[in-house]
Amino acid sequence: MHSKLMLLSYPTHLRIVVPTANLVPYDWGETGIMENTVFLVDLPRLSPKSSTSASPKMTNFGEDLIHFLGAMDLEQSIIDSMHHFDFSATIDLAFVHTIGGANTSDGPSWRRTGYCGLGRAISQLGLATEDPLNIEYITSSVGSLNTEFLTTLYLAAQGDQGIAVYNWRTTPASKLSKLVDRNMQAAQQTAQKQMAAGFRIYFPSLETVHASTGGPNNGGTICFQSKWWNSPTFPRNLLRDCKSRREGMLMHNKIMYVYPTSTSRDPAPSHSVDSNSWAYIGSANCSESAWGRLAKDRQTKEPKLNCRNWECGVIVPFRKAAAMAAGHHDSFTVPKTDEDGEAHFVKDGKAKIKTQATTSGLKAFEKVMPVPIQHPGNKYGNDDKLWFYTE
């Protein structure tokens, strides 16, 4: 169980908290060595006198949260209590998750979870696109990556629900006409080329960890293994050194920033709320364990999503964050931008987080949400050493 989720019920509202942090002191800033990110939203309690017909319709966010809670076998009373709150504030958000185990059409649907669920959520939010994307993935753990998995995740970010790579992998060439086979190969090559050009993964170097305030003795939850890095199929050119903008801090963040390549590496220079850019905040690292693998069930011959971990997170469209920043949404935590372009995140009028603007492709994101990394990160050279936590 790697997911991180808090449901805090108050007499007046429900607070949903999705952190990247574990429930340990050093992940919450008490020792000053590790930083994390938290998404939270407050949902007002519905009046007991409200009739069912008069209550707001449950949003996709709420339905997927309830689906996840049911898969966890939480007490039914807790699951039922979700219907006592107004989820209207989540109408332009998505709750995405990974349900551990084998997800089939007979059990927990494979279309609703893992990277398949990510693609489904992107489509539901109207963010699906065939245009090339940039993906900046901050991760505290890196798995045994390869081109196929990263292409799968890239296509999910475009709105594909796992079917494209599944078909490439499972359809025998003997069952394809030459024309269909050529078209499928061309689509696969295009997706892989776009992924290689736009995907960047942020993970710290050995030097960065040693130079941190906590040092290597506090890097045990930042995980990567040299055997994966040394694999001939590992995409080394996609990794960047992950350095915090707060000097000396290590990161346990899991954040994806996704924005179209066609915008000259700036998600919304005019801060348009129509931007197709979005961010993911949650527990999922950049690994197949976190997002799953869609395979063909040997018995039913139907798709089956195998997931090793349980994960959950939230998709925040740029347009949603921009509207909140402009004061168009009643939200507990609202970012305010001052004259020098710095975003201050405030609670009850008091500044809690401050980020400084850069001139990179994440500049527009910084107007509306935290971007904790120094960007662009340094590419790893042949002589650079990464942080391998077991060595």
- Structural contact between residues 206 and 391, judged by C-beta atoms closer than 8 angstroms: no
Q: How much is the mean pLDDT over the chain?
A: 82
- Percentage of the chain surpassing pLDDT 90? 53
- Structural contact between residues 253 and 372, judged by C-beta atoms closer than 8 angstroms: yes
Among 159, 223, 143, 161, smallest CA distance to 390 is for 223
The tens digit of pLDDT for each residue in 32-75 reads: 889 999 999 999 999 877 645 556 789 999 999 999 999 999 99
Cis peptide before 370, with omega less than 30 degrees from 0?
Answer: no
**In this predicted model, which residue has the larger pLDDT, 149 or 108?**
149
pLDDT of residue 384: 87
**Above 90 in pLDDT, residue 159?**
yes
How far is residue 152's CA from residue 380's CA, in Å, rounded to a whole number?
24
Residues 6+ apart with CB under 8 A from 303: 104, 105, 110, 162, 163, 166, 294, 295, 296, 297
pLDDT of residue 101: 87
**Above 60 in pLDDT, residue 349?**
no
Coil/strand/helix, residue 39: strand
pLDDT of residue 99: 92
Per-residue pLDDT band for 339 (boundaries 50, 70, 90) equals very low
**Above 70 in pLDDT, residue 268?**
no
- Structural contact between residues 284 and 291, judged by C-beta atoms closer than 8 angstroms: yes
**Above 50 in pLDDT, residue 236?**
yes
pTM for the predicted model, two decimal places? 0.85
For the segment 275-283, the average pLDDT, to the nearest whole number, is 90
The tens digit of pLDDT for each residue in 98-134 reads: 999 887 876 668 888 999 999 999 999 999 998 899 9
Residues 6+ apart with CB under 8 A from 381: none
**Above 50 in pLDDT, residue 341?**
no
Per-residue pLDDT band for 340 (boundaries 50, 70, 90) equals very low
pLDDT of residue 1: 82
